[in-house]
Amino acid sequence: MHANPTQAPVRHGAMRAQNLGLVLGEVARGGPLTRAALAELTGLTKTTVSRLVADLLDAELVREAPAVSGGERGRPGVEVSLSGDRVAALGLEVNVAYLAACVVDLTRDVRVRKVIHRDNRAERPEDVLAAVRALGDEAASEASDLLIAGTVLAIPGPVGRGRVHNAPNLGWRDVEVAALFGRPVTVENEANMAALGEREFGEAPADFLYVSGETGVGAGLVSGGALYRGVLGVAGELGHVAVSSEGPSCRCGATGCLEVYAGRDTLPSSEALASGDLSALEACRSAGHALGVALSSAVNLLDPGTIVLGGVYAPLFPWLAPAVREVLAQRLARLRPALPALTASTTGPDAAVLGAAGQVLQRVIREPGTYAGRSGA
């Protein structure tokens, strides 16, 4: 175990829980792995590793299979890898124009995925939350062989401590989302979850700014693989970065925010763009220009290595990217040694709901003790 000399000795139960997490973490990071390799990686004895692996097998958090490359010293080896047979996560998302739910197992295999398109602005928050809860129940019932270890709900607006202070695009104000949901749930910002989804289920590097283009525009900053949340947990509100401070009014109460120029409602369809419709091309160029201005401010402040355009921006990337790149070059090239890479999301519209489920899986891998608790130490 990881000794920490500044703290009192760890209780036996806590030590076992910590070591279970240590072993499962190595399996998640580098598996399949033999017990001998796990002992080496964790610094635990082979006897301890064997006992912990037995518990994890018993809980169906891991499975074993003959090693492809054979074992050490000529003996046939058995390797341990994550098992998707039992524990899973429920990811939920409320957005302006749809609800989404997914069940993802511990191997990150997406087992169920559900989307309902509807206008959530027209309904009361409690009704929207009841609808997304029902969608989640439906998804979970289609994976009834799995144990749902937890639920994370993504919301398009600043979220702090389970509460939405103001999500103007949904028309929600001071909504106690976690309390209204009526069941244990962690409430998170949609762009933050999409950033984590892109990192875990897509191809994003360890440092990047994910941009979520929906009715509103949000962003999630991942730095060294971890989400930057800010002091109140409401960092990344790219949609309200000023493009032109004297510009048109935004739903947030300010003027000239990015959302006014480049929110979903200002964007043409990719069909119109592909057919070469001139006004569609001009609308896309204009939104791309505003997005470039706001992103140049974000790059000046955050210096991310990569910008990933997600949400509705992903399918429009071929038309948006040239305008964005042009503005980034105009505003940044003389000052900075290099411009950030600009790429399209590879997880698409599912990024947020996948990232929400991924948060639950990360917790299970850190703290598997709850699920591997029956067979004793």
**Rounded CA gap, 93 and 371, in Å?**
26
Q: Decide the pairing of beta strands 217-223 and 208-213.
A: antiparallel
The residue range among 115-123, 155-163, 193-201, 343-351 that interacts with a second copy, by the rule CB under 8 A, is 155-163
Sheet of strand 98-105: strand arrangement: 110-117, 98-105, 87-94, 147-155, 186-189
Displacement of CA 276 from its chain's centroid (Å): 34
Minimum CB–partner distance for residue 240 and a second copy (Å): 5
Nearer to a second copy by Cβ, of 152 and 298: the residue is 298
Site for a second copy in 88-107 (CB under 8 A): none
Tell me the residue length of the chain: 377
Asked if 236 interacts with a second copy (CB under 8 A), we say: yes
Judged by CB under 8 A, the residue of 47, 141, 244, 275 near a second copy is: 244
Q: Is 36 in the site for a second copy (CB under 8 A)?
A: no
Residue of 271, 334, 374, 376 that binds a second copy (CB under 8 A): 334
DSSP 320: H
Interacting residue with a second copy among 331, 352, 361, 372 (CB under 8 A): 331
Among 14, 226, 274, 333, binds a second copy (CB under 8 A): 333
Q: 6 or 69, CB closer to a second copy?
A: 6
From 53-61, 120-128, 315-323, 331-339, give the range in contact with a second copy by CB under 8 A. 331-339
CA dihedral 188, 306, 29, 20 (to 10 degrees): -30
Are 331 and 365 in contact by the 8 Å Cβ rule? The answer is no
Contact call for residue 301 and a second copy (CB under 8 A): yes
Can you tell me which of 336, 344, 346, 348 binds a second copy, judged by CB under 8 A? 336
Amino acid occupying residue 133: R
Q: Are 341 and 307 in contact (CB under 8 A)?
A: yes
Residue 287 makes contact with a second copy by CB under 8 A: no
Q: Are 298 and 219 in contact (CB under 8 A)?
A: yes
Q: Which is nearer to a second copy, 114 or 165 (CB)?
A: 165
Of 37-45, 72-80, 111-119, 138-146: span binding a second copy (CB under 8 A): 37-45
What is the footprint of a second copy within residues 167-226 (CB under 8 A)? 168, 207, 219, 221, 223
366 touches a second copy by CB under 8 A: no
Q: Which two tokens stand for residue 321?
A: 């990217």
- Report the relative pairing of strands 217-223 and 226-228 from DSSP bridges: antiparallel
Among 42, 95, 120, 192, binds a second copy (CB under 8 A): 42
DSSP output for 176-199: -HHHHH-S--EEEEHHHHHHHHHH
Annotate each residue in 53-72 with x if it binds a second copy (CB under 8 A) or - if it does not, as one string. Answer: --------------------
Which candidate, 270, 353, 259, 260, places its Cα nearest to that of 317? 270
Query: Is the Cβ–Cβ distance between 219 and 236 less than 8 Å?
Result: yes
**In the structure encoding, which two tokens stand for residue 36, read together?**
């001998």
For position 75 contacting a second copy by CB under 8 A, the verdict is no
246 binds a second copy (CB under 8 A): yes
DSSP string, 12-27: HHHHHHHHHHHHHHHH
Residue nearer to a second copy on the CB measure, 203 or 303: 303
- Candidates 87, 267, 291, 294: give the one binding a second copy (CB under 8 A): 294
Nearer to a second copy by Cβ, of 122 and 338: the residue is 338
Q: Which of 47, 269, 300, 375 binds a second copy (CB under 8 A)?
A: 300
Least distance in angstroms from the C-beta of 20 to a second copy: 15
Q: Six-digit token pair at 375?
A: 């067979």
Query: Burial, 234: exposed, middle or buried (Cβ in 10 Å; 0-12, 13-18, 19+)?
Result: middle
Torsion of CA 215, 217, 221, 225, to 10 degrees: 20
* Residue 8 contacts a second copy per CB under 8 A: no
Asked if 119 interacts with a second copy (CB under 8 A), we say no
Eight-class DSSP state of 268: P
Contact positions vs a second copy (CB under 8 A): 1-6, 41-44, 158, 160, 163, 165-166, 168, 207, 219, 221, 223, 228-238, 240-246, 252-254, 256, 290, 293-294, 296-298, 300-305, 330-338, 340
